[in-house]
Structure 1
């Protein structure tokens, strides 16, 4: 180990259990460990790499993230700049059209004024005459019913219709922006053929409701028979996906993703090693990420809707408070099979009033 490596060892400290330098990093539990922890201790069998390697990987990952953030915001800025340019050009075109129309009307008014002045000349002359026949002659000529070139129909009102450019401008732009956003809430559905008999799926297959009595359904091979779970219909085997589940004020639920081969009979265990990445709520306040060892989460605000994001190639499962878009937990892994959304509204809560269903949120645009 070089001088830099020795300096790094001095900075990382020593293991409280074995007194050895913490020169390794456990990827599973994301902790610095000593060689004895990795070989014979509590981290035996875990993926362990030198701290320097972990730091190098972290630096590379941070740089890639920075680049991705810059690219994503560049796309949004480009879209907004384009929308602004189109709107401003449209306003300028309308403005020019109105100005040209006003100039045309101005020219017509001047021409009419000129003709009216010519019509007034005979009246001016006859007013100075005392000959009644001259007066009647002029009056007969002016009232013979013949049209004059300066007489036209009433012109339409010319105005700038600002309302065409007003209204909920930001909302209209946001709806168009959805076309360039890669991940927006997808309207997933529940696979009723996988639902436990005590779970009722709504007609539109976007809500699941726990029932006290079992429904008269066939116990097919694909149906959960012990755990009150149901899978999603849409499989994930590539790309980035995001969906939201409305949980309202339920005191307990389970949400996540699982390999499509997840066991349907008997108890199942929410563990990444079992092909399940899950977040749970118990007692209305105890949020846990079901890693190889459960991780209790500090959630200040109880969200009424949970967002789930999956980057299949990136090996990422993220959970969000969909109301504030604050991340609740992140799983990192490497997927080897297709995924299906996994849901459980848990059992009917007798003492809890109100709606106890889970509902897939559908973005109406």
Structure 2
């Protein structure tokens, strides 16, 4: 028995699918669709009514082809497609589809806002990096201007390093920006598909998976800038010390400020804590409660650098102090109280004198500490004077007049007191 002819597969385009599944007699979706030998489809009840009362040959309502008998074949595939279309256009289906589309659109729009925020932050970071990089270049140029004829190669080398680091930072942010923009394109394509489906309400679209963009690491301005805030002329001192302008400050201790248990050498360059307290003279400048001492020199403007030899002492504090600090009371050393200090405890624990203290990671124990003060930019930095590695940086330093500050601290137990020594170098003609 020959197989019954089958109709060509109906079109599945959204605009014609319903038309293809509509009965030409009742103009509604097929109900129990049957197929004539001419391959046209009708509802079983519709074609039966159409042929009712007809004797002899019957015709197709569409193509008018005659048939000798009233024969048709049930088309189960078309019936299944009709039921799918009918269910997909029901009120419940429409409401569920609208809800899913609405929720997905809302989620995608929220994700878009997050990406827009991330992109804005990335671009802001790039602007900051460019601005800080430009400012640092000007600073480097200013530091080297007085030494250009002798140290041109040093300046060029340092600027090249700065540019490379700036490009590395920009490249990090650029990679993150590109990832965010790529995710944005995928997201916008999904939103477009969702909006199109929201208009037709026939089926949920095939969406691309949302790409997760990692949170971009923060740009650490202090870490990026720290090496370029060093006294750059001093970094090259071993090549051309006499060209430094200004050179290291030649400080001396002010004995009138010394706590009674501090002994100051005759040349005012060594201070050491001793067991026997001297009888202090009546002096408002003197520290009475804490084992502290100031330098005789003060600074209120410009840039200054000095070095202190601390040797193997297990405990000390040094830095700068405001002129107005209370010298007769026991005060915690912190910027809030007018002190910007670096401190050592237990021979190996280095701390920034914040409130509370901030533990520092120091690779080796410096024997000499360099202190750099920029009054105009309000920066106080501490360096290992042997290799000029940065130990600590206060970016919000003092205002007004300040003095170099020192504390050999109280010797514990039977330990031998360790002196603090102000280091002097061959005299040079200073300027500024």
Tell me the equivalent position of 2:132. 61
Structure 2 counterparts to residues 293-308 of structure 1, below 5 A: 293-308=356-371
Q: Which runs of 5+ in 2 are unaligned?
A: 1-110, 154-235, 428-432
Correspondence for 1:150: none
1:280 maps onto 2:371 in alignment: no
Contact 1:251 1:285 in 2 (8 A): yes
- Alignment check: 8 A CA contact 2:375 2:399 kept: no
- Equivalent position of 1:290 in the other structure: 353
**Whole-Å Cα distance in 2 between the matches of residues 297 and 286 of structure 1?**
8
CA–CA separation in structure 1 for the residues paired with 2:238 and 2:344: 33
Partner of 2:261: 198
Distance change >3 Å, CA 77–CA 292, structure 1 → 2: same
Q: Deviations over 1:190-246 (max 9, x none)?
A: 111110000011111111010112112214221111110001111100110000000
Secondary structure at 2:243 match in 1: coil
Residues matched between the structures, number: 235
Question: 2:424 matched to 1:362?
Answer: yes
1:221 aligns with 2:292: no
> What are the residue-to-residue correspondences of 1:1-365 with 2, within 5 Å?
7=115, 9-10=117-118, 56-57=127-128, 59-73=130-144, 75-80=146-151, 177-333=240-396, 335-353=398-416, 356-364=418-426
What SS does the aligned partner of 1:67 have? helix
RMSD: 3.1
**Post-superposition offset of 1:304:** 0.5
Contact 2:237 2:244 in 1 (8 A): no
| Distance change (3 Å), C-alpha of 1:198 and 1:54 | farther
What is the rounded CA distance, in whole Å, between the counterparts of 1:187 and 1:4 in structure 2? Answer: 60
Instruction: Report SS of the residue matched to 1:314.
Output: coil
The alpha-carbon deviation at position 185 of structure 1 amounts to 1.8
Do 2:380 and 2:397's aligned partners in 1 also have CA atoms closer than 8 Å?
Answer: no
Aligned CA distance change for structure 1 residues 74 and 261 (closer, same or farther; 3 Å):
closer
Would you say the 8 A contact 1:5–1:52 is kept in 2?
Answer: no
Larger radius of gyration: 2
Q: What corresponds to 1:101 in structure 2?
A: none
Q: Distance in 2 between matches of 1:77 and 1:283?
A: 44
8 Å contact 2:340–2:397 — kept in the other structure? Answer: no
Q: Tell me the TM-score normalised to structure 2 length.
A: 0.49
1:139-191: per-residue Cα shift (whole Å, max 9, x none)? xxxxxxxxxxxxxxxxxxxxxxxxxxxxxxxxxx9799444323422110111
1:273-304: per-residue Cα shift (whole Å, max 9, x none)? 22210010000000000123311011111011
Runs of 4+ displaced beyond 6 Å: 51-55, 173-176
Residues 75 and 203 of structure 1: CA distance in aligned 2, closer, same or farther (over 3 Å): same
Q: Give the match's secondary structure for 2:259.
A: coil
Contact 1:198 1:210 in 2 (8 A): yes
| Cα distance change, pair 74–231 in 1 and its aligned pair in 2 (3 A) | closer
Inter-partner Cα distance in structure 2 for 1:217 and 1:73: 47
Q: Matches of 1:275 and 1:284 in 2, distance apart?
A: 25
TM-score normalised by L of structure 1: 0.58
